[in-house]
Amino acid sequence: MKKIPTEKISKDSYVVYLEKASEFDKLMKYAEGRELWNGVGLNAVHCAISACDSLTAFYLGERSKSQRHEDILILIKQIPIKNIDDRMKQLAAVLAMKNLVEYEAREFHKEDAVKIAIQAERFYLWVKDHLPQ
């Protein structure tokens, strides 16, 4: 298994990352309601990343420091939650859109935004279900 750079963090810090994910989720929905498609995309990505940090903080006591956001999948795979592979596919789909929305010289369309928002929302809600409230 590939080793990625991580930092040790307090298990309790999951609360901070979950709150960040919640805020990005709200901003994603706000942007969607105003047809700000780039805002939907970026907030969806950040919602998913913060949700990942929350999950890995709680279960592993660490978070990814890799420059490649896709490397978070390596950490997530270490978490002992049943059927986690299905959620990793959702997460990978969200992360794959990051380059499109942030760096490519083409518009991020409504169809792209709706797709990423659905995936990010599902992943975020799943993470919430697997953490103490």
Q: Which of 31, 55, 58, 34 is nearest to 43 (CA)?
A: 31
Domain-embedded: residue 2: no
Domain-embedded: residue 78: yes
Cα distance between residue 58 and residue 56, in whole Å:
5
* Token pair for 37: 């498609």
Query: What per-residue confidence (pLDDT) applies to 9?
Result: 97
Domain-embedded: residue 1: no
Q: Using CB atoms within 10 Å of the CB of residue 10, give its burial: 0 to 12 exposed, 13 to 18 middle, 19+ buried.
A: exposed
Domain-embedded: residue 30: yes
Query: What per-residue confidence (pLDDT) applies to 99?
Result: 82
User: What is the share, in percent, of the chain residues with pLDDT greater than 70?
Assistant: 99
Domain-embedded: residue 24: yes
Query: What per-residue confidence (pLDDT) applies to 18?
Result: 98
Domain-embedded: residue 34: yes
CATH number at residue 88: 1.20.120.330
Q: What confidence tens digit (pLDDT) does each residue in 58-90 have?
A: 999 999 999 888 899 999 999 999 889 889 999
What parts of the chain have a pLDDT lower than 70?
A: 1
* Token pair for 110: 């409504």
pTM confidence score: 0.94
- Split into its structural domains, the chain has a count of 1
Domain-embedded: residue 105: yes
Domain-embedded: residue 112: yes
Please give the C-alpha separations between residue 31 and each of 38, 56, 80, 106, in angstroms, as whole numbers.
Answer: 8, 28, 34, 19
Number of C-beta neighbours around residue 26 at 10 A:
12
Q: Give me the domain span that covers residue 112.
A: 7-129
The answer for residues whose C-beta is within 8 angstroms of residue 17's C-beta and 6 or more apart is: 50, 51, 53, 54, 57, 63
Query: What per-residue confidence (pLDDT) applies to 1?
Result: 64
